[in-house]
Amino acid sequence: MNYEIKHLDKFRYIEEGSGEPLVLLHGLFGALSNFKDLIEYFKKHNTVVVPMLPLFELDLLHTTVGGLEKFVHKFIEAKGYENIHLLGNSLGGHVALVHTLKHQQRIKSLILTGSSGLFENGMGDTYPKRGDYEYIKRKTELTFYDPATATKELVDEVYDIVNQRTKVIKIIALAKSAIRNNLGEELNEIKVPALLIWGNNDTITPPFVGKEFNRLIPNSELHFIDSCGHAPMMEKPQEFNEILHGFLTKLSRPVPV
């Protein structure tokens, strides 16, 4: 499915459908393909927005979780979105958390799936020699419960990234920033409703991480999806969309007087 990439100043983004904004933030090796099923489902109910995060465009000093959050804030300001449902996967969840903590007044709900911010296993302790395709393939497959979800197209995307030295340096910078930026002591300040959707077989942010987010974020609910790894919206899109739709429907009901 091809979507029109829209431009506004320095921002590039997808915007499909109408209704309350559902803003999707991808992870470190994220791409539009990660959200294909989610966009198709929710564009019937919401304005679905996917900003292209500048993972490799920021200078090294600002290649951090905080630098990405500032970018997201400027994008949302430029678009004038209000009543936002902010969804993030992996590093995108971490950025969504930081943004929500700073700008709760315009966030209607927060949705996290496989989010960093408390604990995460990265690509591993060592980075591969450039050109080691099989290593990258195995590492990409570890993202999922079913290795077949790591299509050749997806592995090729990751392989292309790690074969460019400047991109590898920025990936390491972002990964280190995520580890340093632990939000455990701040999460109780989140007052908006939060939905946590976790793969029961996530090895990067294991199930205990979802449980800890649930314990620390006051108004949160946690759902586990079986036979599912770090990217539930890709691996189990139907279950993911049903859980999210139920959550958003509940929020749209009028509060009884």
156: which residues sit within 8 A by CB, 6+ positions away?
A: none
Residue 253: predicted pLDDT:
74
146 to 98, 143, 203, 205, 241: CA distances (angstroms) = 31, 9, 12, 16, 19
- 241, 41 contact by CB (below 8 A): yes
The residue with tokens 């903590």 is: 101
- 223, 194 contact by CB (below 8 A): no
With a cut of 70, say whether residue 1 has pLDDT above it: no
Which tokens belong to 140? 């990409």
- 194, 75 contact by CB (below 8 A): no
- Domain covering 6-252 assigned CATH 3.40.50.1820 in the classification: yes
**163-172 average pLDDT score:** 89
Residue 198: predicted pLDDT:
98
pLDDT band at 254 (very low <50, low <70, confident <90, very high): low
pLDDT band at 2 (very low <50, low <70, confident <90, very high): confident
With a cut of 80, say whether residue 122 has pLDDT above it: no
pLDDT band at 130 (very low <50, low <70, confident <90, very high): low
Residue 124: predicted pLDDT:
44
Give one DSSP letter per residue of 15-50, joined into a string.
EES-SSEEEEE--TT--GGGGHHHHHHHTTTSEEEE
Cα–Cα dist 70/64, whole Å: 10
**High-pLDDT (> 70) share of the chain, %:** 95
Q: Map out the domains of the chain as residue ranges.
A: 6-252
The residue with tokens 């972002």 is: 174
Cα–Cα dist 257/242, whole Å: 28
Which tokens belong to 226? 């079986």
The partner residues of 15 in beta bridges, in order of sequence, read: 49
Alpha helices in 59-180 (DSSP H): 65-79, 91-102, 133-141, 152-162, 165-180
Dihedral in degrees, nearest 10, Cα atoms 96, 57, 158, 75 = 30
> Could you report the per-residue pLDDT of 65-114, keeping only the tens digit for each?
999 999 999 999 999 999 999 999 999 999 999 999 999 999 999 999 99
**The model's pTM:** 0.94
With a cut of 80, say whether residue 153 has pLDDT above it: yes
The residue with tokens 């408390």 is: 118
